[in-house]
Amino acid sequence: MATGRTHRPATRSRGIPEATVARLPLYLRALTALSERSVPTVSSEELAAAAGVNSAKLRKDFSYLGSYGTRGVGYDVEYLVYQISRELGLTQDWPVVIVGIGNLGAALANYGGFASRGFRVAALIDADPAMAGKPVAGIPVQHADELERIIQDNGVSIGVIATPAGAAQAVCDRLVGAGVTSILNFAPTVLTVPDGVDVRKVDLSIELQILAFHEQRKAGEEAHADGAGPAAARRTGTGSDASADQGPDGDVPAVMPA
């Protein structure tokens, strides 16, 4: 591997850690709230509290973006909103298709958070002919036969899969075949995609299972105070550091090393 260099601090290095990227939307949301209240500047301490992280982490995160703060003062809210938006690519419009308009798909279509942040639901797609034409969230559902055409006509590069598990891989293949390169998967199944395609998954039952694990552990501790342990501290929260993800890492995208 190419180690070495380090002789290039480059303030605007394009190497933003994945963990930092995952927190940027959190900061952005907190900043947007401040912006709406016309707060002009904010310190790392205040913003960190609003975003639910600690201030050292936040400052370190921001340091990867550049030096956007003012020592002794803090950060300019509007300016930071812009910088983070730009970094995340939200200054452009992302057309998105949602495939599988069941309960979940409909919930997603109605979810306000999309439109408000650079995303636009370009189409709703379902395999059930009975759904065709039916409006959901004001958008008529289109039949799956149209999938490729819709994606190409709208220049869609992000697809959301909200189908049953059994249909997910086939839908995924078609999306990728039509040019989609980023997929958000709600189906409880592992998707296989070619190199260059990102998959993120959201799995409700997995989240619950993780909670159950911790819950079980709490019950165990009160039943039997552990041996010579320092502090009778109870379990502590696991924070909500988006960690249990299937980010663009691990083995999920493709099976080839670069």
Partner DNA sequence: TCGTGTGAATGGATTCACAGCG
Partner DNA sequence: CGCTGTGAATCCATTCACACGA
* From the list its own copies, DNA, none, partner contacted by residue 231 (C-beta under 5 to 8 A by kind): its own copies
Contact partner, 37, from DNA, its own copies, none, Cβ < 5-8 Å per class: none
Binding of DNA by 244 (CB under 7 A): no
Give the residues across from 253 on adjacent strands: 193
Helices 18-36 & 77-88, crossing angle to 10 degrees? 140
Residue 75, contacted partner among its own copies, DNA, none, CB below 5-8 A by kind: DNA
Task: Count each helix (H run) and each strand (E run) in the chain, helices first.
Answer: 8, 10
Per DSSP bridges, beta strands 182-185 and 94-99 are unpaired
132-169 b/e with 16+ CB inside 10 Å = b? beeebbebebbbbeebeebbeeeebbbbbbbbeeebbb
Q: How far is the CB of 218 from DNA (least distance, A)?
A: 19
For residue 68, state whether it binds DNA (rule: CB under 7 A): yes
The CB-of-209 to its own copies minimum distance in angstroms stands at 4
Note whether 59 binds its own copies by CB under 8 A.
no
> Binding string to its own copies for residues 74 to 93, with x set by CB under 8 A, is what?
----xx--xx---xxxx-x-
Nearer to DNA, 59 or 174 (CB): 59
**138 binds its own copies per the rule CB under 8 A:** no
CA distance 253 to 251: 6
248 forms part of the interface with DNA (CB under 7 A): no
Counting residues that bind its own copies (by CB under 8 A) gives: 131
Amino acid code (one letter) for 236: T
Computed from CA positions of residues 97, 101, 104, 109, in that sequence, does the dihedral angle turn out positive or negative? positive
Which residue stretch of 69-77, 86-94, 106-114, 142-150 sits at the interface with DNA (rule: CB under 7 A)? 69-77
Q: How do strand 135-136 and strand 139-143 relate by DSSP bridges?
A: antiparallel
The partner in contact with residue 5, picked from its own copies, DNA, none with C-beta cut-offs of 5 to 8 angstroms by kind, is: its own copies
State in angstroms the smallest separation of the CB of 194 from DNA.
19
Tokens of 47: 């913003």
Tell me if 15 contacts its own copies by CB under 8 A: yes
Tokens of 31: 């900043």
Picking from 48, 6, 15, 22, the residue whose alpha carbon sits closest to that of residue 242 is: 22
Contact status: 18 vs DNA (CB under 7 A) = yes
Q: Cβ of residue 129: shortest distance to its own copies, in angstroms?
A: 21
**Residues in contact with DNA by the rule CB under 7 A:** 1, 7, 9, 11, 17-20, 43-45, 54-57, 59-60, 62-63, 67-75, 241, 243, 250
